[in-house]
Structure formats: C-alpha cells, structure tokens
Amino acid sequence: MNAPDQTPKTLLITLTGKDRPGVTSGMLETLARAGVEVLDLEQIVLRRRLILGLLVTAPRDWRKLRDQVEARAEELGMSVEVDRGTGDNKRRRDGRSHVTVLGAPLKAGALGAITGRIADSGGNIDRIERMARYPVTALELHVSGVETDVLRSRLAREAARQGIDVAVQPESLLRRGMRLIVMDVDSTLVQGEVIEMLASHAGCEAEVARITEEAMRGELDFEASLRQRVALLEGIDADAFDSVYESILLAPGARTMVRTLKRLGYRFAMVSGGFTQITDRLAADLGFDFARANELEVVDGRLTGRIVGPVIDRAGKAEALRDFAAQVGISEASVIAIGDGANDLDMLNAAGLGIAYNAKPVVQEAADTAVNVPYLDTIMYLLGISREEVEAADEAAGIITPAPPV
C-alpha cells in the first residue's frame, strides 16, 4: 500500500456508463496529454453498458491527472473510479485453461456452481467472454492457478449434476492451430443410423437397432455385431442406397460448422463403421477431404449380406485418423475427433482433442470433453469462435441467418 504522500506506481481507471462512440478515444486523449504509458486495457459492452478498465503509469502529479480524468468522465456522461496501485499486472499463475460452458438455458445457479468449483480447486477466473446467446448460451472462462486435468475432472462432475456441458482445454497454441477434424458419421454428423435405414427395406429394423445400441454401448464386439447386422440386409435391392441417402438428415449446425471452419483452413475427414455407398456421397456433398468406411458387397444389383475387405472397427478408426493426419502433414495432437459410440474411443483418445457428441456414458467418461446439446456447430465455441463471428462471415458471403428471438 502507498503512503498518503507517496506517488503510486500505477493508476487503475475504471469507467462505466452508457456506451456510445468516442468514450474510449476521449479518455485516451486525456491520458495522452499527461504522457502516461498504458500497461493494460480491457473493455466490454453488456446490454449497451460500457465497462472500460485502464491500467496506466502514474505521473508525479497523479492527483492532477485524477482530477482531469474525473472531469473528462463527467463530460462524457460516465462514472469513473481511479485507484492507486503499486505496479504492473503480475504474470498469471501457471495452470491456465479455457473453460467453455454451454447451456440451453444456462441458469445462474448452474453457472454459480461451476464458478464455485473453480474457486474450490484453487483456480482464478481471469476473464469471461460470451461466445453465443442462441440457440444455446455459451461462455468462455479464462482460468489460471489450477492444472487442466484436475479442473476437468471436478467440473465434469458438477456439469453432470447441473445438466449443462463444460469443456476444459489447456491454454496453448495448438488450440489456434488445429487444422484437421475427423468425425464419426452415424448419430454424429447425421441423425440416426444408416444401417437401420437400410434394414427398414428388409423389415428387420428393430433387430438391427437393438444390436447397434448394444455395440455402441460397448457391450458387443463391434466387428462381430456389424457382420451380424449386415447379414440381415441380404437381398435388399441396391436402389435402397438412393432412397436412404435422400432421407438422411444432417445434425443441426453441421453445414454451418463445416463451411465456417473450411474458411479458416481446416480440413475435414469422416471415418465410419457405416458404408462407402453412403459416406462417399456425403463427403462429396459437404466438401470433406477424406472419407473411410466399410463397403457392402453388391452382386447382380442386390446386397449379399457381406462386407468387402477388412472392417473399419474401433482400431481402424484410430488408424484412419493417423493416416489422415500424415497426409495433411500435422501431428495427431493437432487433430480434433468427434464421435458418439464405443467404437470411437480409440479415435477420440488418439486426437489432441476428443469430443464426445451426444455420446453414450462410457464415451463421455473417456473423452476429453462432452457436448450434449443437439447442435454440431457449438463445437466451434470450444475453438474460440463466437456465433457473432460466424454470422458476420456468413452475411459477407450472402448467407442470411434467421434473427434469434429477443
């Protein structure tokens, strides 16, 4: 603390009031005349209310500057506080993470519980930014002072209790540099399971759905279960592929995510336990760079109930991820993998960031993070991309996004 007659080393100036043009520049003009150095500056606008914080070096006659700042704030119609400090901001503590909180809705009690667990873990929230307000509320918290793995474990439990999603990632350059996204297809990129759609043409959809569910929960060996299900498709006319493809529904936000991230240079790959007769067409439609899946055998225009070549199973998905990364020329740490079933686990673990998307419990527990809202484009918020940035880019490209409810 400074003695009353001692010149402080810094002044912290906090300005609040109704936002309008010229406030920041007006305050900086006043500071410029005093010849002070700006050490730090942060500004946010919340519902047209401005909060501007400036940390500046203190001149010898700091009281005169304080009076000038207060007079300028009055001219601008703002409230101001000037606090004396003793130095520059200290370097933030080690253990820095990005914590993304998703809720639809995001209630104060849930957010309070998350911030409480951060504090209990010894973490400090350095900054909070809103990434989206519709159709989900997404906030990004910059946290320091606690190791990422510890924070992830504690917040995952609290998020489950609160019924919201929380993703915890270490602060690193890799977050900005990831350039390959490898995705599962069924119940991830598209809604539902393609094999069940095909099974409807053979009248065995219920049985195939039962086996699929057990396999996705990890209760059955994937390859054995796939061959068992495919055998039930014997005799289906190959024209069924066209019918199934036309009925496929993408996950909400899928096209938005792909076109936005491709603008930023991301590459996309799909790797599926499904079938090339569908995935190859889907990859071409969405502009994916790579695709790998199983191939159903067709003889004389009908499915034989067999698979051509080796099965793309749990290990095969991870192998595909490594192959795609090598072709792009990046490390596995620079890959994001997204999936929902037990056969995605090796792929999620091989990636730098593994995301369980509306996944089975066994997958959510093993993945780096889980997203349980039904919008695939929310994954962009985990990468530090806000909805406002997405909509601005779309608007510039002539794509109009419906206005959210007021």
Average pLDDT, the chain: 91
> What total number of domains does the chain contain?
3
Would residue 405 count as lying in a domain? no
Domain identity same for 50 and 113? no
Domain identity same for 22 and 113? no
Domain identity same for 113 and 244? no
Q: Which residues are catalytic?
A: 184, 186
Would residue 342 count as lying in a domain? yes
Which range of residues forms the domain containing residue 287?
180-192+237-374
Domain identity same for 106 and 159? yes
285-296 CB burial, b ≥16 within 10 A, e <16: ebebbbbbbbeb
325-368 residue pLDDT tens? 999 999 999 999 999 999 999 999 999 999 999 998 889 988 88
Q: In this structure, what token pair is assigned to residue 334?
A: 């620079």
Domain identity same for 339 and 248? yes
Residue 93 pLDDT class (50, 70, 90 cuts): low
For 342, other C-beta atoms within 10 Å of its C-beta total 21
Domain identity same for 111 and 36? no
Percentage above 90 pLDDT, the chain: 77
pLDDT of residue 1: 47
- Domain limit, last residue, from 23, 52, 85: 85
Domain identity same for 289 and 368? yes
Would residue 207 count as lying in a domain? no
Domain identity same for 333 and 304? yes
User: Domain holding 341: CATH number?
Assistant: 3.40.50.1000
Domain identity same for 14 and 151? no
CA–CA dist 240, 214 (Å, integer)? 25
Would residue 258 count as lying in a domain? yes
For 109, other C-beta atoms within 10 Å of its C-beta total 9
- Look at residue 7 and tell me whether its pLDDT is greater than 80: no
pLDDT of residue 365: 87
Give the pLDDT mean for 21-33. Answer: 92
Would residue 395 count as lying in a domain? no
Would residue 285 count as lying in a domain? yes
CA–CA dist 275, 293 (Å, integer)? 5
pLDDT of residue 220: 87
CA–CA dist 52, 24 (Å, integer)? 8
220-251 CB burial, b ≥16 within 10 A, e <16: bebbebbeebbebbeebeeebbeebeeebeeb
Domain identity same for 48 and 147? no
Give the pLDDT mean for 302-322. Answer: 96
User: Domain holding 73: CATH number?
Assistant: 3.30.70.260
- Look at residue 121 and tell me whether its pLDDT is greater than 90: yes
Domain identity same for 76 and 108? no
pLDDT of residue 91: 55
Give the pLDDT mean for 181-202. Answer: 95
Domain identity same for 36 and 159? no
- Look at residue 4 and tell me whether its pLDDT is greater than 70: no
For 197, other C-beta atoms within 10 Å of its C-beta total 21
Give the pLDDT mean for 135-159. Answer: 93
Choose between 402 and 189: higher pLDDT: 189
Q: What is the pTM of this model?
A: 0.83
